[in-house]
Structure 1
Amino acid sequence: MVLKKAQILVIDDDADVLTALRLLLKPLVKEIVTEKNPGNINLQIESKKFDVIILDMNFNGLVNTGNEGIFWLNKIKKASPETAVILMTAYVDIDLAIRGLKEGASDFLVKPWNNEKVINTITTLVKSEQTKTKKKNALTASNQPIIGDSDAMEDVFTKIQKVGPTDANVLILGENGTGKDLIAKALHDNSHRRDRPFVKVDVGSLTASLFESELFGYKKGAFTDAREDRKGRFETANGGTLFLDEIGNISIGQQVRLLTVLQNRQVTPIGSNTAVPIDIRLICATNVAPQALADEKKFRKDLIYRINTVDITVPPLRQRDADIVLLARYFVSVYEEKYSKEPFEFDASFLKKLKSHDFPGNVRELQYVLERAVIMSDGNVLQPEDLVFSSIERSVETVTPQTTNLDDLEKNTILKVLEQNKGNISKSAKELGITRAALYRRLEKYGL
């Protein structure tokens, strides 16, 4: 049944109404939460994702506007735009309920209600939301949804939908950990080449000798270890998409070889005199800043134009405040299933700590932090102490580029962690991943 996985929130200051709806819906849905005080709306919807919220239109004068329902409806839609809201109203409030529909409510119920009408209304909305979610999550990479409601990510989604169906070459820009590989796969999945190969190569890690053999292939006997013919990645991707990651790190010589292949649309394997035609859609990615790519001493301008018909910049997580809780819910649900855990809720202070961190490691750091939290948590409500941020990422942002001495790195990292924990040795040691005794030894070592 559609409702078996649904989570419903009912907000009404009448205890009898809450009891009646709880008894009606509890056997049908995954969870029903009731709330008497509408002032707790933000806490409720931040701690858990609800499929439908049932909201009364009148609350004992908590908001002195005469339109309490509209006021709280606007609060809900601002905090959780995607959540369906059903307004509950008396016959005399029909005009107000109609106004509520214009303000973003999905439907309304009239008191006293018909039980079958309530169930059918909720079922219809849950089905509708599931359909919307499937469409929204059509931007997937290897069945993993690309999650985001922020304006910055909406721009990314728009470009994927426009550029995906074309054969235009795309350059994806963004910091490490932002998910550039997911964007590349989404472009492929939204193209007419989706049923053909998607081949990824980390070209930044290839040595000069491996660069040509990996990309262009070789013939048997072409060099000492060439015991058989081998296709290069260009041939392997023929008809599909070739994704060259970390393109900003290849040498000028490698850039010349790559440019020649892209211009001629053919490769010549090492040890062969015969060129092989290729038909690929090229996607490249780099964490190098655009201004660095403009330096012709490091990167050929003619290659940039060749690989950069369209560029997509993936924003860092610190510019995606609206997405942090959405991503957190997704990753926690993944690890609940992976580690056979009961569903988690988020304590308000957990969310506050999560949203206050700037995530220098971006989405990848958030993912690892939440996996650890799910594994280590003793209960089913995630608390702020369950969040342990990486000292590796912190050392990168704390130390100036000129500081490369290991002792200085360690000392500055310890100072940063102690400052954040207001001198609490136990918490600091836990975040640094060492014992209290080991931390005391380091404090003594550095005279701290």
Structure 2
Amino acid sequence: MGKMTEFDVCLVVDDDEDILTAARLLLRGLFADVITLSAPEAAVEFLQGRSPDVVLLDANFGRGATDAKEGMVLLERLLAIDPDAIVVMITAHAGVNVAVEAMKRGATDFVSKPWSNEKLLATVRTAASLRRSRRQAPAGTAQAVAGEMPLIGTSPAMARVHSLIARAGPTDANVLILGENGTGKELVAQALHRHSARRDRPMVSVDLGAIATELIDSELFGHVRGAFTDARADRVGRIQAADGGTLFLDEIGNLPLHLQPKLLTVLEQRRVTPVGANRAVPVDIRVIAATNMTSEMLHDPRHFRQDLLFRLNTIEIELPPLRERREDIPALLDHFLDHYARRYGHARPRVTEAAEAALIANDWAGNVRALRHAVERALILAGDAPLDVDDFALTPSPQYRTIPSAAQASPADDLNLERVERRLVEEALKKHAYNISAAAAELGLSRAALYRRMEKHGL
């Protein structure tokens, strides 16, 4: 069975081989095929024959280039071939100015070098979802595809969450979901949508943490032709695209203060005015918002308008962190083992008692998302062997560490350079919970050099 991924093809165009390697390693879990090209002409030829989900495009080519002229020209050439192409610009110079100009010329979003892995993944996933929605929906609309991941948990804290979903879902009340990163806020939003009378209409998701601040206005509210330089066609915003359905505003805390009154007007009047338009368009939406901000920060008017908060949190659902519902970890573990065994065509592995105890004892700073990634990695790398503590890349308490048998060779006795390098890289990654920057610093390597060694050793 082949590897299952969320999307098909990502094209990365950059003249820096280290950037191409880093992008390929990072994105290979999201796309079935990550194509990397260093020459602009090769990208033009590629787009003439294939239609990728996302194009990651460098703003500058050639030694010393910083004005983004080459990237802008290539952007226009690619969009001339495929006007519906989703292009995310990569820039290391004058990021904001380049991003605004790129957006005016048709780019969807941008990322800055050096990028944050989590930020790049979120940006590219949002962009690919937009491409998918444009392909599946009629012209002028966008439809997000709901995930299949269930909301698992029978602990008292999760029982309260399930109860709130059951009661609030069938209503049209706006809902605000609070919780740390990785707790499953989007899953709650999807469950609310499935329980609603709008279930057969689109649920449109907007990750406000993955969109450049300067681009949020156009992304949410849309724009009309001529609204700004190079706005060559009307663009339907996400609010209008959700008409009749549900609008999910993820990371609502990232909505700039100057745009909060505009969203408040939409919620009060049920009308949206695209950038540059003179006439408002009626919309029928239910809004579900989510944030990792604390309740205290949300109630601070310096961070968030209180009248908008009043409109958004008719119902408030707070998701507990995984460390506060450890009794749910065995059920989550079972689900992820089944899920990834099917995905990768493996037999479901056995988990040792010591490993399960370590998983339950772990604090899981990344919550359910971190547990999910740990299980996926362990299943891929361990093969048919039972999964033990070390397979999950944890830093467990001493009582959960496995004790090597006397028959096992001491690392000090193994002088094979390849194995020693692999062991050092793996130990650094585990120590820093796969934070690439921290692990690279510990090893005295650049991020790009660490990525190359990870690819070399299959890490």
- For the aligned pair, the TM-score class normalised by the smaller chain equals 0.5 to 0.7
Residue 154 of structure 2 aligns with an amino acid whose one-letter code is D
Question: Is this contact kept in 2: 1:184–1:243, CA < 8 A?
Answer: yes
Match of 1:251 in 2: 256
Q: CA deviation at 1:141?
A: 5.4
Which one-letter code corresponds to 1:190 in the other structure?
H
d(CA) in 1 for partners of 2:430 and 2:367?
Answer: 24
2:98 equivalent in structure 1: none
SS in 2 for 1:145: coil
Q: Does residue 164 of the first structure (1) align with residue 162 of the second (2)?
A: no
Q: How large is the Cα RMSD of the aligned pairs?
A: 3.1
Q: Could you tell me which residue of structure 1 aligns to residue 135 of structure 2?
A: none
Q: d(CA) in 2 for partners of 1:364 and 1:199? A: 22
**CA distance in 2: counterparts of 1:387 and 1:434, whole angstroms:** 9
Query: SS in structure 2 opposite 1:370?
Result: helix
Partners of 1:182 and 1:206 lie apart in 2 by 21
TM-score normalized by structure 1?
Answer: 0.57
Other structure's SS at 1:358 match: coil
Q: 1:141 to 1:327 in 2, by over 3 A?
A: farther
Q: Aligned match of 1:432 in 423, 428, 434?
A: 428
Deviation at 1:383, TM superposition (A): 1.7
Amino acid corresponding to residue 202 of structure 1 in structure 2: D
Choose which of 332, 339, 344 in structure 2 pairs with 1:339. Answer: 344
How far apart, in 2, do the equivalents of 1:363 and 1:425 lie? 33
Does the CA-based 8 Å contact 1:141-1:186 persist in structure 2? Answer: no
User: What residue ranges of structure 1 are gaps of 5+ in the alignment?
Assistant: 1-139, 395-415
Which of 208, 214, 220 does residue 219 from structure 2 map onto? 214
The residue number in structure 1 matching 2:243 is 238
- Distance in 2 (alpha carbons) for counterparts of 1:377 and 1:306: 49
Shift in CA distance, 336/442, structure 1 to aligned 2, threshold 3 Å: closer
What residue number does 2:202 align with? 197
Q: CA deviation at 1:205?
A: 3.6
- The CA deviation string for residues 311-367 of structure 1, in whole angstroms up to 9 with x for no partner, is 001110001111101111111111111111112222111111111111011001001
1:303 match: 308
Cα–Cα, structure 1 residues 322 and 234, in superposed 2: closer, same or farther, change >3 Å?
same
C-alpha separation between the residues in 1 aligned to 2:411 and 2:306?
Answer: 53
Counterparts of 1:362-441 in structure 2 under 5 Å? 362-389=367-394, 430-433=426-429
CA distance in 2: counterparts of 1:289 and 1:425, whole angstroms: 45
User: Contact (CA 8 Å) 2:146, 2:203: kept in 1 or not?
Assistant: no
The question of 1:275 aligning with 2:280 is answered yes
Helix, strand or coil for the counterpart of 2:329? helix
Give, in whole Å, the separation in 1 of the partners of 2:329 and 2:311.
35
The correspondence of residues 89-128 of structure 1 with structure 2, limited to 5 A, is none
Q: How far does residue 218 in structure 1 lie from its aligned partner after superposition?
A: 1.1
Q: Give CA-to-partner distance per residue, 1:177-210, whole Å, 9 cap, x none.
A: 1110111011001100000010001123434432
Deviation at 1:293, TM superposition (A): 0.7
Q: Contact (CA 8 Å) 2:393, 2:430: kept in 1 or not?
A: no
Determine the structure 1 residue equivalent to 2:331.
326
How has the CA–CA distance of structure 1 residues 260 and 425 changed in structure 2, closer, same or farther, with 3 Å as cutoff?
farther
Distance of 2:209 and 2:352 partners within structure 1: 42
| Separation in 2, partners of 1:348, 1:208 | 47
AA in 2 matched with 1:267:
V
Show the counterpart of 1:187: 192
Give the superposition deviation at 1:288.
0.4
Give 1:308 deviation, angstroms: 0.5
Report the Cα offset of residue 302 of structure 1: 0.6
The whole-number CA distance in structure 1 between the counterparts of 2:146 and 2:279 is 36
Which is further off, 319-328 or 376-385? 376-385
Partner residue of 1:142 out of 143, 147, 151: 147
Structure 1 contact 141–183 (Cα < 8 Å) conserved: no
Change (3 A) 1:272 1:365: same
Q: Residues 173 and 311 of structure 1 are in contact (CA less than 8 Å); yes or no, is this contact kept in structure 2?
A: yes
Counterparts of 1:258 and 1:159, CA distance in 2 = 25
CA distance 1:143–1:252, change in 2 (3 Å): same
1:285-325, CA deviations, whole angstroms, 9 ceiling, x for partnerless residues? 00000001111121111111010000001110001111101
SS at match of 1:371: helix
Tell me, yes or no, if the aligned pair for 2:347 and 2:384 is still in contact at 8 Å: no
Name the residue aligned to 1:291.
296
> For the residues of structure 2 that align with 1:425 and 1:306, how far apart are their CA atoms?
60
Identity %: 47
Query: Is 1:345–1:381's contact at 8 Å kept on the other side of the alignment?
Result: yes
1:421–1:428 Cα contact (<8 Å) kept: no
Tell me if the contact between 1:174 and 1:180 (Cα under 8 Å) persists in the aligned partners.
yes
How far off its partner does 1:241 sit? 0.2
Question: For residues 203 and 241 of structure 2, what CA distance do their matches in structure 1 show?
Answer: 9
The answer for the alignment partner of 2:320 in structure 1 is: 315
Change (3 A) 1:262 1:443: closer
Amino acid corresponding to residue 239 of structure 2 in structure 1: F
SS at match of 2:209: helix
Counterpart of 2:62 in structure 1 is none
* Letter of the structure 2 residue corresponding to residue 225 of structure 1: D
